[in-house]
A and B are shown apart, each in its own frame.
Chain A
Amino acid sequence: MTARTNTRTGIARYQQVYTVLSQALATGNIAAGEALPSEPTLVRQYGVSRTTVRRALARLAAEGSIVRRRGSGTFAKSGLEKSGATRKVTRLLDDLRRVGSNTRSKLLAFERVSTPDFLLREWPEFGERALLIRRLRSIGDDPVVLATIYVPEDLAPLLSPRRLGVDTVLVALDKLGHRAVTADQQTNAVAADPFSAQHLQCPVGAALLNVRQLARDAKGHILDFTNFVYRPDCYELHVQIERGNGRRARVPR
């Protein structure tokens, strides 16, 4: 039985093998200095041709992730694993700024738009018009998260790019007296489309962590809807769940 590498996916087979191997290298599943499986082993493991394996390895070698030594094999280069400074394990709804002081935020869009249908269908109270904010957050030179935020029209006049600064929308609204007290989150994996791939500097089709979140204030008014797309090698989501009567369920401090 072979893995389902096939050409019908729109992703070349060498690209599929490349993706899986770079993940193994980035996570340390293949540790620094350790030998990669031999070419014939990879051929069997992934059910692809020798040429495909070679092309994937050539790409890893070209970007300096592996070293090929004639006669002795292929080895993982050191220093590929994300350092502690970059790799963040963060709790639900955390403000990314709290986990590192060198985070940067780049505003990609700040404009009034018609509220997209998917928001109106689920939450008609969102209103016909909304403020769209799109921003990219980075830690050092690594882009970490691309956020697309919709704020209902009635709150839009309170916000400006300057007022937002480096704050998250929820923090900015909090400072203006609109405090989020409940949030509904959905978490899943998505394939990078060309837009997120470009901003997060990853290949199209790469696995990204997606969080969609709707926040409300104490009266139940919607404050914002945010679609986050995270690079998983830089960010993980952490939740602690206590059993029992459910009263103690909490997100760790």
Chain B
Amino acid sequence: MAPKSSPARKARSRPRPSPRRRQKTGVARYYQLYSLLSNALNDGTIAPGTALPSEPELSNRHRLSRTTVRRALERLENENRIVRLRGSGTFARQAPAASKLCLNLHTYYKDLPSIAAQTSVSVLRFEPEVLPAGVRELQSRLGERAFVIQRLRKFHGTPYQLSTAYVPESVGRQMRRNSLGSTSIITVLDRIGPKTVSSDHTMSAVAADDIASRALGVALGAPLLRMRAVFSDSKGRIRAVYESLSRPDQLNVRAELERVRVRSAPRPWRLRPHETGSAKR
């Protein structure tokens, strides 16, 4: 996070959206404009087909040189996210249909086979090892050593998810590397038994480290969605500890929620049971 003397901290009391003052941040000025426009295109604030503000407008509003503005636009154009039409302006492109996978938490277990079927997988690691520091707190329930299964999942040939599963060594010994295929780890574990019946998921955002950056083809430090999960059987025994890092431009995580109908206030929220949930992606 920002050091105490950074411009961000000084400017805290007076919001100043202009990126003008941030020069020694290690972030190019064109990138700052690029990131504003990119987020606006991603979340639809600038809708497909609509015009972006003109170059002079962007240059005035953000107090940036025309060259800097052009560099930001060029990058968006290279990424095929805008189209520049001579004489009429710059427009947001229509995002290609179904270019993004969607993971629905309210239909999580039901959807596992279909996600596996739509994607391809390469197994990067499949071996027993001593648990890493991040997983060690679960050691008493998982054992001293675990089988680590690291896989890279692709959608339409683009790598979108790097996942690492730790399973108890005795269970891992019953798996075969070449039988993993693109099958979800839960399905593989179910074949060995006992069945996984519940899971605890924690979502966060992380900067891509050297391993994730190489595997997923993104820049070092690029934002990734991290999902950690602990899968358990009906007796509460751990079946697997799992962590996935996903590219935000390739995967969306969605959840339909509803309020439980009880008299107590505040009424708790829960994931919508999938019989009543819509099948919409």
Task: Report the Cα distance A186→B43, complex, angstroms.
Answer: 11
Interface size class of A (residues with CB under 8 A): 35 or more
Question: B202–A4 contact, CB under 8 A?
Answer: no
**How distant is the Cα of A133 from the Cα of B256 in the complex, in angstroms?**
24
- Give the residues from 1 to 43 in chain A that come closer than 8 angstroms, CB to CB, to chain B: 1-6, 9-20, 22-24, 26, 28-29, 31
B131 to chain A minimum Cβ distance, whole angstroms, is: 14
**Cβ-based interface call for A189 (8 A):** yes
Report how far A121 CA is from B50 CA in the complex, Å. 12
Closest beta carbon of chain A to B271's beta carbon, Å: 4
- Say whether A187 contacts B255, CB under 8 Å: yes
**Looking at chain B's contact residues, is the secondary structure mostly helix, strand, loop, or mixed?**
mixed
Q: How far is the CA of A181 from the CA of B26 in the complex (A)?
A: 45
Chain A residues within an 8 Å CB radius of B11 = 198
Of the candidates A29, A116, A233, the one whose C-beta lies within 8 Å of that of B45 is A116
When A11-B31, A15-B27, A188-B253 are in contact, do A253 and B268 touch as well, CB less than 8 Å?
A: yes
A253 vs B262: C-alpha distance in the bound complex, in angstroms?
A: 13
A135 contacts partner chain B, Cβ-Cβ < 8 Å = no
Bound: A116/B43 CA distance, A? 11
Which residue of B is nearest A205, CB measured?
B27
Q: Given that A10-B34, A204-B19 are known contacts, is A92 also in contact with B255, CB under 8 Å in the complex?
A: yes
B158 part of interface (Cβ distance < 8 Å) = no
CB contact list, B240-254 vs A, under 8 A = 246, 248, 251-254
Contact of A92 among B15, B198, B257 (CB under 8 A): B257
As a 0/1 sequence over residues 225 to 238 of chain A, the CB contacts with chain B under 8 angstroms (1 = contact) are 00100111101111
Segment with Cβ contacts to B, from A66-74, A124-132, A156-164, A206-214:
A206-214
State how many angstroms separate the Cβ of A206 from the closest Cβ of chain B.
7
Whether A190 contacts B47 in the complex (CB less than 8 A), given A15-B27, A181-B258, A242-B197, comes out as no
Enumerate chain B residues within 8 angstroms of A155, measured Cβ to Cβ.
Answer: none
**Is B177's CB within 8 Å of the partner chain A?**
no
Given A121-B47, A236-B203, A243-B197, A12-B26 contact (CB < 8 Å): yes
Report whether B17 and A195 are in contact in the complex, using a CB–CB cutoff of 8 Å: yes
Of all A-B residue pairs in the complex, the 10 with the closest CB atoms, nearest first, are: A10-B31, A15-B26, A118-B44, A207-B223, A63-B3, A189-B205, A250-B270, A3-B210, A19-B221, A189-B223
Sample of 13 further A-B pairs with CB below 8 A, known A92-B271, A93-B257, A203-B27: A9-B31, A15-B26, A16-B221, A92-B255, A182-B256, A184-B254, A189-B205, A199-B15, A202-B1, A203-B1, A206-B223, A209-B204, A232-B206
